[in-house]
């Protein structure tokens, strides 16, 4: 793997910024063939960095791009994506695990037409389920996701076996950090565990709650400097979400800020981030969920 000269890390080479984009719904192509979606794990080393808010707004914005989006709320203990979006699902993943419901019966429709698989608060980690229970979930998911372009996985915070499980099985890892020193430290810890123990070698960084774009780039510089020195990985700066009062208003009103105020600073940031995700190449891999149903973490 090519490794950059640490002496050059003081200058961040970022892609040229594109002009602001106004979300507009794209007409879906009739007769589009089903394919395996791009699976992206949105994760963080530390809680409270706004990860779930990012997932919700990315899903909404990608849908505005004309992408069919499924969000998997994978925080088994404290899933709150439904609360954030003002939804009250009757069923959740635990009903699929138990065999009471089929997966298609528990998925709910969120704002803009995004589909959401609600978390199962209080059940065991998926890594602790029996192989039969995991097969029940992922065999159904294998079929269900065929009609989607992108599946976003909202992982729990930290480095529990469940969080690591989703990260190592995703196509891409979107790591969320804030300018707070504790968040930066925990983001590095997450990359270290995934790199050293499981061979994960590429991460995409999104900096949330940054006062300015320059502050966000400094977070990337710090993380990239230490990762380049101590870890055999590459880290890509994927963008930032600037601090915006409309984000707090959206949380209070249980609405995605991209729906509430599509032209505010944060919404423009989400549009740029969604554009990068939508434009990135993807090689579909079949049989993914069958592999997930038997994957074990050697912890």
Query: pLDDT (tens digit, 9 = 90+) per residue, 181-218?
Result: 999 999 999 999 999 999 999 999 999 999 999 999 99
Tell me the whole-structure pTM to 2 decimals.
0.85
- 6 in a domain, yes or no? no
Candidates 178, 142, 155, 177; CA nearest to 81 is 155
End-to-end CA distance of the chain: 27
- 85 in a domain, yes or no? yes
How many whole angstroms separate alpha carbon 150 and alpha carbon 36? 8
Task: Kindly state the tokens that stand for 236.
Answer: 């890509």
- 1 in a domain, yes or no? no
Query: Sign of torsion, CA 12 16 19 20?
Result: negative
Environment class of 269 (CB within 10 Å of its CB; exposed 0-12, middle 13-18, buried 19+): buried
Beta bridge partners of 172: 40
Give the DSSP H or E segment for 263.
none
- The pLDDT, as a whole number, for residue 27 is 40
Give the list of residues 6+ apart from residue 285 with CB closer than 8 angstroms, or none: 36, 171
Query: Sign of torsion, CA 168 77 140 131?
Result: positive
Ranges of residues in the chain whose predicted pLDDT is under 50: 1-34
- 25 in a domain, yes or no? no
- 226 in a domain, yes or no? yes
Give the list of residues 6+ apart from residue 120 with CB closer than 8 angstroms, or none: 76, 79, 92, 93, 94, 95, 96, 97
- Distances 244 to 14, 197, 211, 236, 277 between C-alpha atoms, Å: 23, 37, 9, 24, 22
CATH code assigned at 243: 3.40.50.300
- 289 in a domain, yes or no? no
**168-171, long-range: CB < 8 A, 24+ apart:** 168/194, 168/198, 168/200, 168/295, 168/297, 169/39, 169/41, 169/288, 169/291, 169/292, 169/295, 170/39, 170/40, 170/41, 171/38, 171/39, 171/40, 171/282, 171/285
- 88 in a domain, yes or no? yes
- The pLDDT, as a whole number, for residue 119 is 86
Q: How far does CA 197 lie from the centroid of its chain? A: 21
- 65 in a domain, yes or no? yes
Structural domain of residue 85, as residue ranges? Answer: 35-280
Chain mean pLDDT for the chain = 85
132 C-beta neighbours (distance < 10 Å), count? 9
How many whole angstroms separate alpha carbon 71 and alpha carbon 136? 19
- Distances 158 to 41, 68, 130 between C-alpha atoms, Å: 13, 29, 23
- The pLDDT, as a whole number, for residue 299 is 52
Number of domains in the chain: 1
């Amino acid at each position: 793997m090519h490794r950059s000269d640490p002496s050059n890390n003081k200058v961040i080479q970022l892609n040229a910024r594109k002009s602001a984009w106004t979300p507009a719904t794209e007409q879906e192509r009739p007769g589009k063939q089903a394919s395996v979606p791009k699976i992206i794990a949105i994760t963080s080393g530390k809680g409270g960095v706004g990860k779930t808010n990012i997932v919700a707004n990315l899903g909404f914005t990608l849908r505005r791009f004309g992408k069919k989006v499924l969000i998997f709320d994978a925080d088994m203990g404290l899933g709150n994506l439904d609360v954030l979006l003002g939804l009250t699902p009757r069923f959740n993943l635990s009903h699929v695990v138990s065999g009471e419901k089929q997966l298609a019966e528990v998925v709910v429709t969120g704002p803009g037409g995004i589909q959401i698989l609600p978390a199962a608060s209080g059940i065991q980690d998926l890594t602790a389920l029996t192989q039969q229970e995991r097969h029940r979930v992922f065999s159904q998911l294998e079929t269900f996701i065929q009609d989607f372009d992108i599946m976003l996985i909202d992982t729990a915070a930290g480095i529990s076996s469940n969080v690591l499980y989703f990260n190592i099985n995703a196509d891409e890892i979107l790591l969320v950090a804030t300018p707070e020193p504790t968040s930066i430290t925990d983001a590095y810890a997450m990359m270290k565990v995934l790199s050293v123990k499981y061979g994960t070698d590429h991460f995409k960084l999104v900096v949330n709650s940054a006062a300015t774009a320059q502050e966000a780039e400094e977070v990337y510089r710090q993380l990239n400097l230490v990762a380049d020195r101590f870890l055999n990985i590459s880290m890509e700066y994927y963008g930032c979400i600037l601090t915006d009062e409309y984000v707090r208003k959206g949380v209070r009103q249980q609405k995605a800020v991209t729906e509430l105020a599509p032209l505010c600073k944060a919404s423009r940031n989400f549009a740029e981030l969604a554009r990068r995700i939508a434009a990135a190449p993807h090689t579909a891999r079949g049989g993914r969920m069958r592999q997930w149903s038997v994957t074990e973490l050697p912890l």
